[in-house]
Structure 1
Amino acid sequence: MLRKQIAASVTASSGSVKDHTVNEFLTFRLGNEEYGIEILKVQEIRGYDSITQIANAPSFIKGVVNLRGVIVPIVDMRIKFGLDDADYNQFTVVIILNVANRVMGIVVDGVSDVISLDAEQMRPAPGLGPVIDTEYIMGLGTADERMLILIDIEKLMGSSDMGLLDRSLN
């Protein structure tokens, strides 16, 4: 759905189609970059708390938490994206997501705000060839002087290296 809206945005910039759809994204920080995920995938935001580690889990899976009786896997996005070591502080949060009817959490450096982007503010992901995997990037969003990397969280969590979603759902 969002890919169609981004494609409509590119077409709109050429003047042939106009799309007035507005999309809302929760913005968060990882290092110096700002990212956005669809607000409809967000269930809640929690402070970073104790996480039970799971033996033999990939390094980006910090462990699990018990969220009101539901065992929720927690992914550290800094590790997943190959960024510097995480510095867990008072701003570090866990965004609890509901993706394809599966509850999971992602650890981020901090949550900024919820931002609305219309089709003219979104651009497709740049083609960077085989050097950089952009499969999980829906596109880039611009608001004022801010540039957001828009993440397709469903594709990311359903990827073969993550394995957090049933692949038949994608």
Structure 2
Amino acid sequence: MSTELLAASRPQVAGRAAGPDVGDTSLYLAFRLADDVYAIDILRIREIIEYSVPTGVPMMPRSVRGVINLRGAVVPVIDLAVRFGRTATGVGKRTCIVIVETEHAGTLCTLGLIVDGVNAVMEIAAGSIEPAPAFGTRVNADFIAGMARVNGRFVIILDIARVLSIDEMVSITPPAMIET
């Protein structure tokens, strides 16, 4: 079902340049982590896959659950809940891995994000996006590109490049201990 949402949005995305300020609206993939709804610019999303248990890798930051094999490519999998300072995401019926692309040191990196469930592809008007509050959110304000009210509920729009900053993750997150 999640992949169909993404596929249906592709014609709308065609021809749209990267960045949040193109035209009056932008498309975002909305997903859940616990009770909160987050969104990522659809241009950063490669695909959505069913959850599979990642293979653990020693000496990785705690937020890196491990790696998966995605059609022959090794893809690191990040637990966003842990990245945001929460407890690890529990696996449920709707748990999935959102495959995103971001740049690091001039190279395109593919990473997987464990989320509790994908909601929808949303069209959000640029004028309805408010700046991130300095306090009061459960997420580091540096990770937030903005907030928008959609259907009476706040959606936190993530700056995925900041959330997935490899240098920052390694420098502030102690390595996980792998039990044998």
User: TM-score if structure 2 supplies the norm length?
Assistant: 0.75
Show the counterpart of 1:25: 28
Is 1:72 the equivalent of 2:72?
no
Alpha-carbon distance, 1:83 to partner:
2.1
Is 1:60 the equivalent of 2:67?
no
Q: Secondary structure at the match of 2:154?
A: strand
- Tell me the distance in 1 between the aligned counterparts of 2:41 and 2:155: 12
Percent of pairs with identical residues: 30
Letter in 2 for 1:94: I
After superposition, the C-alpha distances for 1:88-118 in whole angstroms (9 at most, x for unaligned) are 0121100001112211100011000000001
Alpha-carbon distance, 1:86 to partner:
2.2
Q: Secondary structure at the match of 2:58?
A: coil
Query: Of residues 146, 150, 161 in structure 1, which corresponds to 2:157?
Result: 150
- Tell me the distance in 1 between the aligned counterparts of 2:23 and 2:44: 22
After superposition, the C-alpha distances for 1:30-72 in whole angstroms (9 at most, x for unaligned) are 0110000001100010111021100111111000011111110
Confirm or deny: 8 A CA contact 2:24 2:127 kept in the other structure. no
Letter in 2 for 1:64: V
- Tell me the distance in 2 between the aligned counterparts of 1:148 and 1:46: 22
The total of aligned residue pairs comes to 147
Query: Of residues 113, 117, 127 in structure 1, which corresponds to 2:120?
Result: 113
Structure 2's unaligned 5+ residue stretches are 1-18, 171-180
Of residues 78-87 and 47-56 in structure 1, the stretch that sits farther from structure 2 once superposed is 78-87
- Tell me the distance in 2 between the aligned counterparts of 1:56 and 1:159: 14
Show the counterpart of 1:16: none
Is 1:49 the equivalent of 2:56?
no
Confirm or deny: 8 A CA contact 1:41 1:98 kept in the other structure. yes
Root mean square deviation of aligned Cα: 2.1
Q: Secondary structure at the match of 1:135?
A: helix
Q: Secondary structure at the match of 2:167?
A: coil
User: TM-score if structure 1 supplies the norm length?
Assistant: 0.79
Structure 1's unaligned 5+ residue stretches are 6-18, 164-170
